[in-house]
Homo-oligomer: A and B are copies of this chain.
């Protein structure tokens, strides 16, 4: 690791575990806590790079699994790498594809060597190993890259979760050894399902290998929210202070606030952009659905004091009309609003940490914000996972 890709811890809240810092990357400084919008296929859905930047986003998440299958790693490498391909000059983090192989791809066979899977696009068979995962991510050229991990399902047996943890550790070591480029930071991924003992083992083992950053994987896969939060606490407690901590795949406003209070620095999630395309918009009071008839004649924007392009330019009634009419502009405008909401939230929570007021900020936010209730959340999750199954 050269010093072009490091983490500086700036301040830790005296009352909670919340912390403010910055990631120094070859593509700019990323203030933390940070939220990464998902750009799985090399685009934050509906938006141009300029729009994403204009919202204040400093790093996006792209996906090795998706880009490997389409357009192909060699295509992107031949075009000068992922940044150039997608015309994005800020930081990029690539996931190794582990999670996608274990959640999207059918007919996988996993053994210690690696994992054989079929493409969810055309059914073709592929092998990925820890070494290949690194080779692909070096060719893509992201600023932060991830180890190949095995991500068990929430309802897998203890034996299966144990095997996944063991394999994830072996693969992490192999990824570390396979790494050639020194300008990319390789993060390890702590697994262990919802078992504190396994989480401890995983965190202890991986930190002994001295990675420049640690992710918490395998959460928010259907387990109750309280268990998720407990697992985060159990894991963070064993991670080094001076390394960034990345909570994979969680990014609702309430998740972010809860995660920050538990010492998380990096978040990613498709949720803010995905629910936007379904018409669910974040407000200080919680999510609202713009398709609701209540908005059909509302001259005001969704949030009167919101600084986003959508709220500065259009009435809620216009947005309602675009959604009702299935106009593609609807999905853009809603995405801009939700990402701006999250971007502002990150900035506000970071300011609060630096001002020593993060506890009260968290309290006030959660008091005002009506989170999606547990029942609805789990149903939506199931529906989402099922729709991905069907898309095979």
Interface check A331, CB cutoff 8 A = yes
CB of A135 closer than 8 Å to a CB of B: no
CA distance A47 to B309 in the complex (A): 13
Q: A5-48 vs B: 1/0 string, CB under 8 Å? A: 00000000000000000000000000000000000011101111
Closest to A277 in B: B328
Query: B70 to A325, Cβ gap below 8 A?
Result: yes
Q: Shortest CB–CB separation between residue A34 and chain B, in angstroms? A: 23
Q: How far is the CA of A243 from the CA of B309 in the complex (A)?
A: 40
Q: A87-B318, A314-B87, A318-B87 are in contact. Are A327 and B75 (CB under 8 A)?
A: no
For residue A66, which residues in chain B have a CB less than 8 angstroms away from its CB? 325
Q: Closest CB of chain B to A10's CB: distance in Å?
A: 34
Q: What residues of chain B lie closer than 8 Å to A42, measured between beta carbons?
A: 318, 321
- Among the 9-residue stretches A78-86, A170-178, A198-206, the one with 4 or more Cβ atoms under 8 Å from chain B is A78-86
How far, in Å, is A68 (CB) from chain B's closest CB? Answer: 13
- Return the chain B residue nearest A71 by Cβ: B321
A317 touches B46 (CB 8 A): no
* A46 to B333 alpha-carbon distance, docked (Å): 10
Question: Measured between C-beta atoms, what is the minimum distance from A92 to chain B in Å?
Answer: 15
Q: A307 near B: Cβ within 8 Å? A: no
| A84-118 near B? 1/0 per residue, CB < 8 Å | 01110000000000000000000000000000000
A268 to chain B, nearest CB (A): 18
How many residues belonging to A are interface residues under a CB distance threshold of 8 Å? Answer: 37
Which B residues are in CB contact (< 8 Å) with A320?
Answer: 71
- From B43, B296, B318, give the contact of A327 (CB < 8 A): B43
Asked if A329 is at the interface of the complex by the 8 Å CB criterion, the answer is: yes
Residue among A46, A325, A333 with the most chain B CB within 10 A?
A: A325
User: Which residues of chain B come closer than 8 Å to A321, judged between CB atoms?
Assistant: 41-42, 70-71, 75
Interfacial residues, chain A to chain B (CB-CB below 8 A): 41-43, 45-49, 66, 70-71, 75, 78-79, 85-87, 296-297, 299, 309, 313-315, 317-318, 320-322, 324-325, 327-329, 331-333
Offer 15 A-B interface pairs, CB within 8 angstroms, sorted by A.
Answer: A41-B325, A42-B318, A43-B322, A43-B327, A45-B327, A46-B328, A46-B332, A48-B329, A71-B296, A71-B317, A71-B320, A71-B321, A79-B315, A87-B314, A332-B332
